Amino acid sequence: MQDAVARFVRDGDTVVIEGFTHLICFAAGHEIIRQRRRDLTLCRLTPDLIYDQMIAAGCARKVVFSWAGNPGVGSLHAFRRAVEGQGGLEIEEYSHFGMVARFAAGAAGLPFWPLRDYVGTDLPRANPRIKAVTCSYTGEALATVPALNPDVTIVHAQRADAQGNTQIWGLLGVQKEAAFASQRVIVVVEELVEERVIRGDPNRTVIPAMIVDAVVVEPWGAHPSYAQGYYDRDNDFYVRWEAISREPAKLESYLDEFVYGVTDRAAYLKKSPGLTTRLEAKAQISAGVNYGF
Amino acid sequence: MQDAVARFVRDGDTVVIEGFTHLICFAAGHEIIRQRRRDLTLCRLTPDLIYDQMIAAGCARKVVFSWAGNPGVGSLHAFRRAVEGQGGLEIEEYSHFGMVARFAAGAAGLPFWPLRDYVGTDLPRANPRIKAVTCSYTGEALATVPALNPDVTIVHAQRADAQGNTQIWGLLGVQKEAAFASQRVIVVVEELVEERVIRGDPNRTVIPAMIVDAVVVEPWGAHPSYAQGYYDRDNDFYVRWEAISREPAKLESYLDEFVYGVTDRAAYLKKSPGLTTRLEAKAQISAGVNYGF
Amino acid sequence: MMAVVAARELRDGEVVFVGIGLPNLACNLARRTHAPNLVLIYESGAVGAVPDRLPVSIGDPALVTGSLMVCGMADVFQLFLQNGKIEVGFLGGAQVDRFGNINTTVIGPYERPKVRLPGSGGAAEIAIHARRVLIVSKLSPRAFPERVDFITSPGERVQRVITDKGVLEPDGPKGELVLTALYAGVEPADVQAGVGWKLRCRPNLAQVAAPAAADLHLLRDELDP
Amino acid sequence: MMAVVAARELRDGEVVFVGIGLPNLACNLARRTHAPNLVLIYESGAVGAVPDRLPVSIGDPALVTGSLMVCGMADVFQLFLQNGKIEVGFLGGAQVDRFGNINTTVIGPYERPKVRLPGSGGAAEIAIHARRVLIVSKLSPRAFPERVDFITSPGERVQRVITDKGVLEPDGPKGELVLTALYAGVEPADVQAGVGWKLRCRPNLAQVAAPAAADLHLLRDELDP
């Protein structure tokens, strides 16, 4: 992970660490904080705790997003302080559909994406990059958003082979689109598998090796987010974050202990004994299908 | 099948029987021929043998397509006769990407889809429905195609539950887009399975019950096309079709014997002893994945 | 109580786009009682979810295990929502105004917010594309101002606003929200006290039936302990 | 022979968009010889296919079993092709003209065709988006007219045209096809005889090396019996 971030994440980059609740790569975010990257434009539908931490650590110049909260719990207080006060954090805001459409356009090699949205809302007033196009068949006006093509996208996945052919199941979010839209792609996996495992079920492959620059093996790399079939979401930690992020001092000491204070994910896990046993997934294995002919 | 076609396929309809080489529902096409539907607008990327037969049987008023041949073999002669001569068959022609984009727009509830295509080709001259749009961000001109929203789409699949939650693996073609774009959807499956089989591997579901009007169980319903994991493509028949379709008389007698001459798929299969043993798929079962948490 | 009243709005077999919090609670209650065939869709991509625990987030793994379909978010927003396949959209909201417009973006001016709220998420497109929009929100003058500071979700398709004291419904051409039903023991004045504009009442106000003991039991002991 | 010469154009590790027929044969030959890491993409959605029999069609089940990825066609054309991930596009063609434009649509006028050909399939977008376009086609005045009756695929990105007698390459600003290499025992006049325009030749014509016995064996006995 250290090498991958050192090689592929640069100061000033537009960085995407995607994953909708599922498979959010905290391990990568923490490594970016440790390597003290600066002036990053951080894009995600839901900044979530990971960007709240990166904002607090001073990595972010700008955040591009569509829902900035701690789901079912409360606020991302570092984000709020940076936006409400004179934090000077730049923001560019869309709805979820708008962000999904931006990634879809970037992945398809198109400059924009059309969608039926924003009529009657104040979002276009708040964000002039939301524009309109007239359909040459029906004459109706549609909203448009510009393509999003990150410098680097980091995707956490259940498994990949050494070349980077990557398989994900459970919630898929916009990882495929974000990866195809990106100049560089880092895949972080729970398990490195033989190529024949990938070839054994090709319909599960979401990201092909040809667009992957680095494959990092980092078990539990998504905690406190989750990996379907590997470990559950650490909802207790998400609840605790409310109090931690509310107090800059507490947040500071959290980063000192769990990010700056450790060298890697293994060390991070050692700091929370019992964590893996508490969150480890129970087995609910799907049946196979026949690919023969 | 008889009831489903009687209820949901009407004279004058825009009909889609999709499936790219894989899962082409010949059983539905034959039933439409038997029920003598007329003035249909038949849409498919590759008209294939099934539309060649429906054209010969007089079902079609118009064909919307992007590649009309018998792959690796030769021509669709009924189609060619209808287009080259005074057959009076109307055609509307795109490239594969253009057809895919038309289904994508229809499925997304958009009136058009933008794509980078057709620069330097004569296709827009041959088809005025291929237009252009200017990007309001970059100023560049992109091609557009209009949404395709069929009256009825027929999708063949490996399995579905009684409600119509449908799973497909192997080549996916544009079935998902065609189904979501359609007013009515008929799903034809090799196997009817319990809901818990679908729920056991939800990432494989391509079409949800909410958009399905009828579920028909028709084993071998795709022959001479194929169903991954069930039976191989009948390449010999595709080769034989060259000679059959070249001679209107031969084609006539083929229809008499194998379409009009049978009441359903079971009877159709009885006419070719040894067919199922010759084409039955060998087992190559994928391993399961863990959906637990 | 709000969850119970909200649950009643859902008909068996309907396709509901579910937001987190009270809407999620109401949908799961309805599914466990009068609407077993309710199809729950979460913007995370889970379709026909049957969570065996109350999901803390709309991306909870319990929404995936045993669901009917899991698809990418591009499909959720394009093939389901924008394509008109969603019958009911269920929204909460920090602020709801006189015409059912919702604000979940900012309190105060956008550029210099007093309070920065999470933002739209999928709420803008849900309000625009769901055939029927239901809102669940607790009454208070701050929550129900005459005009919201920022329109995150337009009110055009709002059919009912379920509060903790009564139910509001759009009335007249501009769809102004008016009081149409009261909980037991509540006076119109109590509702007016929680609304920032001169609230009109339907001539004959309906009375909201009390929740069945079974429903309350289900809520308190099973769904939301 | 054409398949062997075409196969040589492919470099190990490249991503190739494969059409059916000779291109398919050439790609599988290259994969079995000097380019084991060639990534074959078929418009049907199979990525990294390793067919254990020569696929009769680009949708053959043998392309699916054991492939690295199988995706929908919307992804093939948008995420891979339009997004610039394809290095080599391999096309055949009923007609190829002086500037490498391909016609697979009609012989004669479009509205009243003498011969109705299959049409574009993916050929239009492959010719527009693949970084390098290779054409394989047998020489004949009908196959190589000065101007095609219909431009299905534009010739801008064509880098080589492999025929049964020699190799043509674009030359000069307008990219006119000129003769650059000859098979053993073939004279420029033999090639000119199969081309409908005054064919120019590169000053020093290369000689196309004869196929290795092993390659021919592989082709005749294994790939294409």
Answer yes or no: do A291 and D64 touch at CB < 8 A: yes
Helix axes A235-246, A77-84, angle to 10 degrees: 40
Answer yes or no: do C61 and A71 touch at CB < 8 A: no
Confidence class for position B104, pLDDT limits 50, 70, 90 = very high
pLDDT at B87 over 80: no
ipTM for the whole complex: 0.97
Confidence class for position C205, pLDDT limits 50, 70, 90 = very high
- Provide the shortest C-alpha distance from residue C66 to chain B (in Å): 4
A199 has a chain C CB within 8 A of its CB = no
Percent of chain A with pLDDT over 70: 100
What gap in Å lies between CA A180 and CA A106, rounded to an integer? 7
Among D43, D146, D176, D222, which one carries the catalytic annotation?
D43
Distance from chain centroid for Cα B190:
16
Instruction: Give A194-260 as a DSSP string.
Output: -HHHHHTSGGGEEE-GGG-SEEEE-TTTTTTSBBTTTB---HHHHHHHHHHHHSHHHHHHHHIIIII
The subunits that touch chain C, with at least 3 C-beta pairs less than 8 Å apart, are: A, B
What residues of A are in contact with residue B169 (Cβ under 8 Å)? Answer: 203, 289, 291
Of A68, A62, A64, A28, nearest to A46 by C-alpha is A68
What residues of A are in contact with residue B281 (Cβ under 8 Å)? Answer: 290, 292-293
pLDDT at C222 over 90: no
pLDDT at A8 over 90: yes
The subunits that touch chain A, with at least 3 C-beta pairs less than 8 Å apart, are: B, C, D
Question: Are D113 and B86 a contacting pair, CB within 8 Å?
Answer: no
Confidence class for position C167, pLDDT limits 50, 70, 90 = very high
**Residue where the block lists tokens 């592989």:** D218
What residues of A are in contact with residue B112 (Cβ under 8 Å)? Answer: 114, 135-138
The token pair at A136 is 């040459």
Answer yes or no: do D125 and B117 touch at CB < 8 A: yes
pLDDT at A6: 98
pLDDT at A105 over 80: yes
Which tens digit of pLDDT belongs to each residue from A240-269? Answer: 999 999 999 999 999 999 999 999 999 999
| B290, β-bridge pairs | A285
pLDDT at C224: 77
Answer yes or no: do C69 and B211 touch at CB < 8 A: no
- The residues of C that are catalytic are 43
**Residue where the block lists tokens 């090799």:** B190
Which tens digit of pLDDT belongs to each residue from C16-36? Answer: 999 777 888 899 899 999 999
pLDDT at D224 over 80: no
Confidence class for position D92, pLDDT limits 50, 70, 90 = confident
- Provide the shortest C-alpha distance from residue B278 to chain A (in Å): 11
What SS3 state is found at B178?
A: helix
Which tens digit of pLDDT belongs to each residue from C53-109? Answer: 888 889 999 999 999 999 999 999 999 999 999 999 999 878 999 999 999 999 999
Answer yes or no: do B195 and C79 touch at CB < 8 A: no
B13 has a chain D CB within 8 A of its CB = no
pLDDT at C204 over 80: yes
Q: Which amino acid is at D156?
A: E
- Provide the shortest C-alpha distance from residue D128 to chain A (in Å): 13
What residues of D are in contact with residue A177 (Cβ under 8 Å)? Answer: 79
B79 has a chain D CB within 8 A of its CB = yes
Question: Are A159 and A197 a contacting pair, CB within 8 Å?
Answer: yes
Answer yes or no: do A107 and D78 touch at CB < 8 A: yes
